[in-house]
Amino acid sequence: MFRDSPLRRRLDQGGRALGCWLHMASPIAAEIVALAGYDFVLIDHEHGAGNLLGAVSQIQAVSATPAATVMRVPWNDPVYIKRALDTGIEGVMIPAIEDAEAARAAVAACRYPPAGIRGVAYSVTRAADYGLRAAEYGAKANDNLVVMCQIESPRAVDNIAEIAAVEGVDVLFIGPFDLSAAIGKAGRFDDTEVAAMLERAEARALESGVVLGGIPKAGDDVAAMHERGYRLVVGGSDVTHLRDAARADVAAHG
């Protein structure tokens, strides 16, 4: 059901937001996670197993809760982004944004003309309550959506200022694993080169004034990220929550 995005409102008011990845493509898992009290859920179509029809079921499962729905799309592809937005998500995360040109293309894919290139079909799409609130959705959609650009390479880090300067970029989301892998040191967060690059990415994002987002890496936690200026954190996953609880149960009782 279309509404003013609670995630947009929270970030605009200077607040923090805690999210949970949805990798299981399960509406039941989505509902449990949302009911647990997360500010938003993040349906992962870059590394998750789901499709757009399945995403609709997940969004419907979450719709009875205050949690916002965000989707990570597979790539900076205007066709996939257009279809993803029509499901009714309230935020979109776009991988591997490396410069202002890519950021402008991402934002354009998310916005209706004349501000962008998104195809207009809100007379029938779920995002506009299947056309029942078409006029309201059309008027609010561009400003209601939260657009998150992932920073995942040294080139992207170098270009953070220009990416952040693109109108419509709401969150710079630092990807520590891909950043470390990009220099041949995947997951080696105690390495001085990796640590310096991550510190540089955080500092440049904070200097830009755009919301800084990310995930906890090894040796890190959400509280420490908040202290460093992160306002949007995805702290866990339906997969990791289930996996870790199951392993703990087996360790305790197996």
Is residue 1 domain-resident?
no
Tens digit of each residue's pLDDT (9 = 90 or more) over 85-125: 999 999 999 999 999 999 999 999 999 999 999 999 999 99
Whether 47 is a known active-site residue: answer yes
In a domain? residue 14? yes
What's the pLDDT score for residue 38?
98
Residues in the chain: 254
Could you tell me the CATH number of the domain that includes residue 17?
3.20.20.60
Kindly report, residue by residue over 197-233, the tens digit of the pLDDT. 999 999 999 999 999 999 999 889 999 999 999 999 9
Is-above-0.85 flag for pTM? yes
Over residues 29-46, the mean pLDDT reads 98
Structural domain total, the chain: 1
130: buried, middle or exposed (CB in 10 Å: 19+, 13-18, 0-12)? middle
Catalytic-role residue among 23, 47, 241, 253: 47
Structural domain range at position 207? 6-253
**66 found inside a domain:** yes
Residue corresponding to tokens 């970029």: 169
What are the respective helix, strand and coil percentages of the chain, to the nearest 5? 45, 15, 40
